[in-house]
A and B are shown apart, each in its own frame.
Chain A
């Protein structure tokens, strides 16, 4: 009898431990009590003030305003100031009678893809505003049903459609409909080569510094540098699209590209079968054979500046939109040496220059309110700075040049807010240059938006719908991954390897992909 009692008790205990989870919905709001209660939707008040579809007017008590959950970018999980910044931001939103409150949700970059995917299925505690950078592309977001169309807000917030060059908006459209708004950036760039200043002086190439140099001049510089310092490597990364001169049309595998970065081009090309690619492979092979690139290039994935800081590398390639801007980056990244910059290509804009965009999720319960907050993030300097910099005097301070620095007594590890990711937010140009003396950091960027001399790719905004050739794309992507790196790192014989590579791409149906792309591209061009 006693034993039976014990067994029954055990069963009850186990069943209860399971039910404990099931019964917890009652206290579901408990984890965020301060926000949970506020989030009652204000649909009735919304209807009253409505003039046109999608408009949003503030009404009633701020405590009844809808709360919009918006992701923020964090590199470490130390975001202790989140609550404080959120409070300050919400106070500000009340002061301007915004009609919407914000709920900041820091997501660390490492877990972000997984967490966003899961949160975008969550209708009970939905995420409202999020960015696609490092997560997905507008096309895939739309395909997966993760974001809503913003077209109805075009008339409500026309300023949002007038900030950037027209073709930039195209990159966030699918079938002519705006699903996402591009995040502010330079939208055009060129390739530069940064080199240690002492080496540049030693080999006597200072006269070329800050100018655009040709490939021959670049090779000469590399040759001289290698002769003077055979122990160093001169760059680590050869997969540099501006240098290859292609518009990737949004796929990193470069299956179907526009040459000349898409400027004036109307023909989709199988890049790997071109003479240009062959020559670039020869070039890479030469670099490798001459000992310019890092040892074990296939597996050494140290960033160029790490190699430089460690004294192994003497230079590396990266992108920028102005020489001054690249110097300001160098100062932040290379602590051990002074550097000089050589420009390698011309300033142009293509699809790969649009890095980010913001959109409203399909699980969002109050899109009008979310759009209002997004609008403020794009246009209100104060709102933008709460996101990019936090609170003045607490996380950052401003110097006489108008540049921001860590507030007194805090540094990158103790600030409690991530200030190194202004570019993650809708409009970084409303922020202040951070940790740099280059005060035109953002104004120079803004100037590019209205600069008519910059050439943009014809393919800006072309989105390839690969559903009819999906299998070929999957197979070709795997093949590209298999062959390309060894070619670009100069580890194999170019001619024979390239031949095998192309034969396999063809067997996997690259020509069908290109033909389909061309068909869609022509429709796209005609619609413009």
Chain B
């Protein structure tokens, strides 16, 4: 990637700046709406420049105070454990499948890929996890179902190992009587750091964004709620009450938090990722450097 031309640099930067703006502007709209009062939105619609500044939405969220902080802690815990388990299993299976002369390679690949196509749906999955493995109302309920490994990541990993780790290198190592597991740790993983960190990011994002496990498996023990569960429960309730608010709900109906709250919820759940992402990227970049040296 040793493009010379300054012209191409300018072109690339312009393209990326436009795309980044396209990605960012709606988010700004979101952030601005979260500090605009409901009345203003119903009256004048959405706008990029706040007409009035109103922190009701954030105050509403702050009311849950320690709950939100606790939920952040929970999210980090769940995401860390889950991502670690996920990436270990993904690498192990992906690496196995990357061996071109592996007996049963196609069969195993098919076994993995098949899970992407067919699913038994919500109820059977719930019955397995809650009644066979009793994960309900435990932290396992947030970690184990669905997110611990997925076929998509395994296949990405496999393809990366096959395309980006030169066969010659592995063979040379074999000659040096390096074991297969040794090759994985000393050659393949270091060479695959960009993909490993990308897949870790994906796994972490999946855990971060997940609220379904909490909805299914945390019925009583709300102390285990992650940030997405807290925010999503709030959001679902708001949405529900907006739709079904009947006159007999009395005062409660009129105190239903507004659209602004939902926007604020989105802002609150996105910002940490924007902060954490650069750290992921550092390992990204370091991965390339190490990979470069080893390769």
Contact = CB atoms under 8 A, between A and B. Distances in A.
Interface string B223-247: 0010000100111111111111101
Given A10-B88, A110-B236, A118-B126, A412 B133 contact: no
A435 B63 contact: no
Given A319-B247, A420-B250, A115 B219 contact: yes
Interface string B128-157: 011111111110100010000000000000
Chain B interface SS verdict (over half): helix
Given A10-B88, A118-B123, A21 B133 contact: yes
A161 B89 CA distance: 59
B243 A14 contact: no
Contacts of A105: 219-220
A114, A332, A436 pick with most chain B CB within 10 angstroms: A332
A3 B236 contact: no
Given A17-B85, A434-B250, A121 B127 contact: yes
Nearest to B41: A310
A76 B225 CA distance: 14
A301 B138 contact: no
B249 interface: yes
B252 A329 contact: no
B221 A31 contact: yes
Contact of B215 (A111, A312, A334): A111
A306 interface: yes
B39 interface: yes
A512 interface: no
A333 B144 contact: no
B219 A332 contact: no
Interface stretch (B164-172, B178-186, B270-278): B178-186
Contacts of B247: 318-320, 326, 329, 333
Interface in A46-83: 75-78
Interface in A372-422: 412-413, 418, 420-421
B239 A24 contact: no
Contacts of A10: 88
A309 interface: yes
Given A108-B236, A420-B249, A24 B135 contact: yes
B158 to A, nearest CB: 18
Interface range on chain B (Cβ under 8 Å from partner): 35 or more
Interface in B26-48: 38-39, 42-43
B181 A423 contact: no
Nearest to A25: B134
Contacts of A76: 234, 237
Contacts of A303: 242, 245, 253
A7 interface: yes
A329 B248 CA distance: 7
State which size class the interface on A falls in: 35 or more
B250 A118 contact: no
B55 to A, nearest CB: 16
A96 interface: no
Contact of A301 (B39, B230, B242): B242
Given A17-B85, A114-B215, A3 B254 contact: no
A124 B42 contact: no
Nearest to A116: B219
A219 interface: no
B248 A14 contact: no
Nearest to A316: B247
B254 A335 contact: yes
B66 interface: no
B233 A3 contact: no
B119 interface: no
A348 interface: no
Interface string B197-224: 0000000000000000001100111100
B255 interface: yes
B163 interface: no
Interface in A25-52: 25, 28, 31-32
Given A6-B181, A114-B215, A119-B219, A28 B251 contact: no
B39 A311 contact: yes
Contact of A21 (B39, B126, B135, B185): B135
A201 interface: no
25 contacts: A3-B181, A3-B182, A4-B181, A6-B181, A14-B88, A17-B85, A18-B144, A21-B133, A31-B137, A31-B138, A32-B220, A75-B237, A77-B222, A77-B234, A109-B240, A110-B240, A118-B126, A307-B42, A310-B39, A310-B42, A311-B43, A332-B251, A412-B255, A421-B249, A423-B248
Closest A-B pairs by Cβ, 4 of them: A110-B236, A420-B252, A110-B237, A332-B250
Interface of B: 38-39, 42-43, 63-64, 85, 88-89, 92, 122-123, 126-127, 129-138, 140, 144, 179, 181-182, 185, 215-216, 219-222, 225, 230, 233-245, 247-255
Interface of A: 3-4, 6-7, 10, 14, 17-18, 20-22, 24-25, 28, 31-32, 75-78, 105, 107-111, 114-115, 117-119, 121-125, 134, 301-303, 305-307, 309-312, 318-320, 326, 329, 332-335, 412-413, 418, 420-421, 423, 434-436
